Amino acid sequence: MEELWIRPMKVEDIDEVLKIERLCFSTPWSREAFRAEIEGNHCARYLVAELGGLVVGFGGMWIILDEAHITNIGVHPHYRGRGIGEAIMRGLIETASRLKVEGMTLEVRVSNVIAQNLYKKLGFVSVGVRKGYYSDNGEDALIMWRNKYTKV
């Protein structure tokens, strides 16, 4: 079985990340948005999941003071159900820990129960709802938090 690698995203990864982004999200980020995150945002940390030389997933976060905000995470539909999303999230958690982050937060669609279950498995808890958060359909977002003392 091929080994999964979680590593920092590079500009050269953007084409593959964009393919995944378009498959996963109804309002995908642009090439320029990812380039700006990688090259110009000193708060941003982005990772990719590589399997057999192919980028099959990605995730990112912003580190602001002692908090991390997960910005996005996506796994190519053909590679879902293999623990890739969990590996990316664990990579983000490990990166945040190295940077002395106290807490991590994210928003997730209220309808995305699979993602919510993964986040709960990794120690995130629901703390509220952002009404009408998603611009594509007005869906609410569940706000989830995790602190540095959570063990998983």
Class of domain 4-147: alpha beta
Choice among 21, 119, 134, 149 that is catalytic: 119
- Summarised one tens digit per residue, pLDDT across range 93-146 is 999 999 999 999 999 999 999 999 999 999 999 999 999 999 888 999 999 999
* Weakest mean pLDDT among 9-13, 54-58, 137-141: 137-141
Q: Is 149 a catalytic residue?
A: no
Neighbour tally for 107: CB within 10 Å: 18
Torsion, Cα of 83, 72, 16, 90 (10° steps): -30
Choice among 67, 107, 134, 149 that is catalytic: 107
Q: Is 119 a catalytic residue?
A: yes
Inform me whether the pLDDT recorded for 1 exceeds 70. Answer: no
**Domain layout of the chain by residue ranges:** 4-147
